Structure 1
C-alpha cells in the first residue's frame, strides 16, 4: 500500500519521500509530498493510516506541500509512547510544525483527529491558516451498544483486528473506494500487534474535552465536512451544524456519505481544501 501511494503521487511528476520524525517518546512515520508554499497536514482518523488519503493526495500534490503522518501507535509509527490520545496527536502535530518551521498551514483532520486539529490551531494561531474537519468528533459522545460491544472484543485477538476492519468498512456508505478491501486488510494486519491494539483502545477512549475547551481560541478559517449518513453519530447533521457554529466555520454536508468524506468523495474534498490554498 505504501508503494502504491507513493507511486500514485510520483506518477504526476510530484516529489514524494517517506520520513521519520522524532516525537516525545517515539518516532512518527511521515509521508512528505508535492510542491507549493502552502503546507497541508492531513491527519488520518483514529485507527486509520496515512494510506487513507491515497485518492486525495495526487489531486493536491501539484498545488501544496503535503505532510501525512501515521499517528503515534498506528501504521508505521512506533508504539514506544507512554500514552495515546487525540491531545497527544495534537502535541505531535505542534512539534512537527515548529521543528519544520512550517507557516501558512492547513490541517485536515478526520474523526477524532479533527479535535487534534482544533487543539493545534488554538496552540499555534500565527502558523495555521485553516482547518478542515471531516466526520469531526470535537466533544465526547455517548457510546452506543455496538461500540461498547466492539470495545470489549477489541483486545481479544484474533477477533479484535477482524472486528475493526469490518467496522471500518461499514463506515463507508455511498461510493465505495476501489482500495476499500485492501485498506481494511492493511488495518487488520497492522492491528495484529498487541501493542497497536492497546494504542487503538486508548485512543478510542481518550477524552476530547481538552480539545473542545480550546475551540474559542481558534482564529483560523474553518470548514466542517460531514456525511449525512455517517453512522458514528446519532444525528450527524446536527453535530456538524454545532461544530460549524461554535467554530464560526463553513458547513459542507455530503448527501449519503459516511464517516470518510475524503475517501468517498475525494474530488469534492480536494475542492474544499483548494478553497483555502
Structure 2
C-alpha cells in the first residue's frame, strides 16, 4: 500500500486532516469505505497499522479531528456532536458518501454521534475500547484505569505514540475535551443507532472492561461483542491484524468471511 495522502479539509467552520488511501483505478470495487476515528488527545498515528491493513481491501480514511494531531485548535471546545458534524461534512466533500465508521476510545462517541446524525450514510459501526464506563464515571477512576493500562498491558510503541500525541495536544486542550468526553452518555445514545454495532475490546483493557462492553452491546438495537486476547486499550495498534479481519468480516467486506476470527457473540 502506498503512503496515505493527507488532505486538509475545512467543514462546519473547522479544519481537520484526512489521511486517504483509495484503491487503484480498476481494482475490484468494495463499498462502503472504512473511516477510522482516534480518541482524546490522540491522532491518526496510532491507527496507522490498522489503516494499512484495511487499505489492502477497501478505501480507508483516517481522520485527525479539529484540535488534534497537527490540526489547528478551534476557538472553542467542540462538542461530540460538532466533531461528528465536521466528520460528515469533510467526508462528503471528498465524495465519501457511505462508510463503515470505526472509533477508538473517545472516538467511539464521535462514531455513534455520526451514525445518529446521518444514519443513511453509515451501514456499520465499530466501537473499539468504548468510553466512558458508567460504573466508573469519575476522572480519577478513568485516570487510574488508563495508568494501569499503560503500565501493564501496552507495548512500548503504543505508549510512545499515545504520549507524544498527548504532548502535541497539550494539557489545556486535553482537559477541555476530557470534560466533553466524561459528560457524553454513550450508554444512553447507542440504543438509537439503527446500524449494526460491533463492540470490540482488548481482553486486558481496564478502560473498557468486559461488563461495560457487554452492557453497551445489549443496549444497541443490533450488536455483536468481540474480545481480542493479549492486549489492552490500544487494541488496534497491538493486534492490528486481528482487528482488521474482524472489521472486514463484520462489515461483510472480507473476501472469505469463513476466515473471520473467533469470538463473535450475540
Q: After TM superposition, is the score higher than 0.5? A: yes
Instruction: Quote how far apart the aligned CAs of 1:33 are.
Output: 1.0
Residue 222 (structure 1) aligns with: 197
Matches within 5 A, 1:81-230: 81-137=75-131, 141-143=136-138, 145=140, 147=142, 167=147, 170=150, 173=153, 176=155, 179-180=157-158, 182-184=160-162, 186-191=164-169, 196-206=170-180, 207-209=183-185, 212-230=187-205
Distance 2:89 2:20 in 1: 16
Distance 2:248 2:40 in 1: 24
Check whether the contact 1:40–1:108 (CA below 8 A) recurs between aligned residues. Answer: yes
Query: Residue by residue, what CA displacement relative to the aligned partner does 1:73-94 show, whole Å, maximum 9, x if unpaired?
Result: 1101110231233333212122
Instruction: Quote how far apart the aligned CAs of 1:111 are.
Output: 0.6
Matched, 1:273 2:251: no
Check whether the contact 1:104–1:127 (CA below 8 A) recurs between aligned residues. Answer: yes
Distance 2:163 2:174 in 1: 16
Cα-Cα RMSD: 2.7
TM-score (norm 1): 0.77
Matched, 1:22 2:10: yes
Q: Secondary structure at the match of 1:231?
A: coil
Q: Unaligned 5+ residue runs, structure 1?
A: 1-8, 151-165
Check whether the contact 1:114–1:138 (CA below 8 A) recurs between aligned residues. Answer: no
Q: Unaligned 5+ residue runs, structure 2?
A: 24-29, 254-266
Distance 1:250 1:146, change over 3 A: closer
TM-score (norm 2): 0.80
Q: How many residues align?
A: 241
Matched, 1:73 2:49: no
